[in-house]
Structure 1
Amino acid sequence: MKRLIATGERARPVEFAEDAQPVPAADEALVRVEAFSVNRGETFLLENPRPDLRPGKDVAGLVVRAAADGSGPGVGMRVVGHPPCGGWAEYVAVPTHSLAVLPPAIGSTEAAALPLAGLTALRMLRTAGAVAGRRLLLTGASGGVGHYLTELAAAAGAEITVVTASPERGRRLAELGADVVHDLGETRGPFDVVLESTGGTALPVALSKLAAGGMLIWFGQASRTPATLDFFDFFNGPEGAVIRHFHYAGAPYGPDLDTLVTLVGSGRLHPEIGRVADWADTATVLVDLRERRVRGKAVLTVGGPR
């Protein structure tokens, strides 16, 4: 079968290679991949790749071999999955606890945009707690996580302000109910919850916007610049505030994927897909994603549009 492997080259970070079809473990289903999405964090891993790197964590496709232990979906079922690796290929083995069955109304292209970004947004909102009537601030909002989080938070009754680099990158976020700004320093706090994904100089500015008793959740460093905090400023600032690190990871993913699929199927969540291309163009799409030329999610189809 074909799979994409890392080259270590900045201009063309992946290329096709022939590989053996994966042999699933007893609790894994073999999925024929119809579409996969790529994430900006994965582009950074490709810059200095490990020799054994097999990228790909967001897939949708068809089960062609059910798990030997009898768990999970059967042969012929369409699924969305979040494997630990190896999804940029014609076939991937996925633990059944990290699969969700797709209804006929949701295509593979749409489904493939859900896992990492959708799981991050869903689990981060749980970390934030009840948001109805609360003021939220989200930095670096124009990617997949930002669109999902904005729609979910607004639907839950939050008053959400998002920071994007340009009006175009914030257009859809405004439609989803956000107040869009382009300069973090100009946001009008204080905010009950600050969700910070940029790092660098943005983190201390975001912290200064936090209300007394509020929570800052740090979940990324998109700027790739280390952040420095002056804790004297923090202790002299919002009384009783909390700084918390967040990372979405932790199987099982299946129940939360089911939730995301249900929300999409009922029209309450809309994947924002800024680029769809054949997987022959994956290298170009990865470069554009790394250089912030894609708004929302980028999805690659395997064997034609789905």
Structure 2
Amino acid sequence: MKAFVATGDTASTVRQAEVAPPEPGPGEALVKVDAYSVNRGETFQLEAPEQGWRPGKDIAGLVVQAAADGSGPAVGSRVVGHPASAGWAEYAAVPTGALAVLPEEVPTVVAAALPLAGLTALRLLRTAGAVAGRRILLTGASGGVGHYLTELATRAGALVTAVSASAERGGRLAELGAQVVSRVAEADGVFDLILESTGGPNLPQALAKLAPRGQLIWFGQASREPALLDFFGFFAGPLSATVRHFSYADTDGPDAPDLRTLVRLVAEQRLHPEIGAVADWSRTPELLADLRERRIRGNAVLTIS
């Protein structure tokens, strides 16, 4: 079968190649992939790929072989899946605990944009606790995670200020109810909760805007610059504040329940994935470059014809 493999070359990070079809284990279903989403974090993984690793964590398609242990969706089910890797391919073996069945009203292209970004947003807000009436500052907001976070938080009653480098990239965030600024320094007021995904100088600037006993959750370092914090800076404003690291993968259970929640919200028109680019999968290298250079708003989805 055809699949994209890592080249280890920063100029052209992936190439299409012939690989052996996957052999599903007892708790895995074989999915014919119709579409997959690429994430900016994966572009960083592709810089120094592990031997034998293939990229691909967000897929949607059709179950063509059910799990041998009887778990999970039946043959013929349309599904969204979150495999650990190797999803940028014609077929993927996916643990049934990382699959959710799609209703007719959720298109495959839309579903493919849900797993990594959607799970991150859902679990971040769960970690933060109740957000109704709280003032939230969100950095790095114009990617897939930022759009999900903004819609979920504003619909839950939060007051969201989203940081987006350009007006064009921040346009949809404003439509979703956020106040959009281009820099952390422009954010007005203090915030009960800060969701920080860029690192570098933005993290200490954001921390300075935290209300006393507020919480800053750090969940990414998109700038790829280290963040330096001055402990005594806490006494200048964010007294007794909490700084917490978050990883979306830090969960004790399977992904399927949260995937089903995301699918249900989309089906009920309560969550609207922001898909900035859809293209044939032959253009995967091109879209990876666009995503890395922030030329795409929200998610990018590739379709397998």
TM range (shorter): over 0.9
1:177, CA displacement in angstroms? 0.4
Partner of 1:123: 123
Q: Is the 8 A contact 2:33 2:90 kept in 1?
A: yes
1:241, CA displacement in angstroms? 1.1
Shifted more, 7-16 versus 188-197: the winner is 7-16
**CA displacement, residues 69-91 of structure 1 (integer Å, 9 cap, x when unaligned):** 10000000000000011100000
RMSD of equivalent CA atoms: 0.9
Q: Is the 8 A contact 1:189 1:211 kept in 2?
A: no
1:1-306 mapped onto 2 (5 Å cutoff):
1-249=1-249, 250=251, 251-303=253-305
Structure 1 residue runs of 4 or more that deviate by more than 3 Å after TM superposition: none
1:103, CA displacement in angstroms? 0.4
1:106, CA displacement in angstroms? 1.0
1:212, CA displacement in angstroms? 0.8
- The AA in structure 2 aligned to 1:297 is N
What TM-score does the superposition give when structure 1 sets the normalisation length? 0.98
- The AA in structure 2 aligned to 1:285 is L
How many percent of aligned residue pairs carry the same amino acid?
A: 68
Q: Distance in 2 between matches of 1:291 and 1:243?
A: 29
> SS of 1:282's equivalent?
helix
Q: Is the 8 A contact 2:215 2:244 kept in 1?
A: yes
Q: Is the 8 A contact 1:28 1:95 kept in 2?
A: yes
> SS of 2:214's equivalent?
strand
What TM-score does the superposition give when structure 2 sets the normalisation length? 0.98
Q: Is the 8 A contact 1:31 1:64 kept in 2?
A: yes
Gaps spanning 5+ residues in structure 2: where?
Answer: none
Q: Distance in 1 between matches of 2:212 and 2:25?
A: 50
1:51, CA displacement in angstroms? 1.9
- The AA in structure 2 aligned to 1:10 is T
1:136, CA displacement in angstroms? 0.3
**CA displacement, residues 178-221 of structure 1 (integer Å, 9 cap, x when unaligned):** 00001211211210000000100000000001001110000000
Shifted more, 2-11 versus 163-172: the winner is 2-11
Give the total of aligned pairs: 303
> SS of 2:20's equivalent?
coil
- The AA in structure 1 aligned to 2:262 is L
Q: Distance in 2 between matches of 1:165 and 1:239?
A: 29
Q: Distance in 2 between matches of 1:285 and 1:112?
A: 15
Change in Cα spacing, 1:52 to 1:235, as seen in structure 2 (3 Å) is: farther
Shifted more, 8-17 versus 106-115: the winner is 8-17
**CA displacement, residues 12-64 of structure 1 (integer Å, 9 cap, x when unaligned):** 21111111110111001000000000000000111122222211000000000
Q: Distance in 2 between matches of 1:236 and 1:266?
A: 45
- The AA in structure 2 aligned to 1:2 is K
Q: Distance in 2 between matches of 1:104 and 1:86?
A: 26
1:235, CA displacement in angstroms? 4.3
> SS of 1:257's equivalent?
helix
Q: Is the 8 A contact 2:234 2:240 kept in 1?
A: no
> SS of 1:289's equivalent?
helix
Q: Distance in 2 between matches of 1:49 and 1:70?
A: 34
Q: Is the 8 A contact 1:32 1:91 kept in 2?
A: yes
Q: Distance in 2 between matches of 1:42 and 1:208?
A: 31
**CA displacement, residues 228-255 of structure 1 (integer Å, 9 cap, x when unaligned):** 1111112453222100000101351000
Q: Distance in 2 between matches of 1:46 and 1:238?
A: 38
**CA displacement, residues 110-151 of structure 1 (integer Å, 9 cap, x when unaligned):** 000000000000000011100000100000000000000000
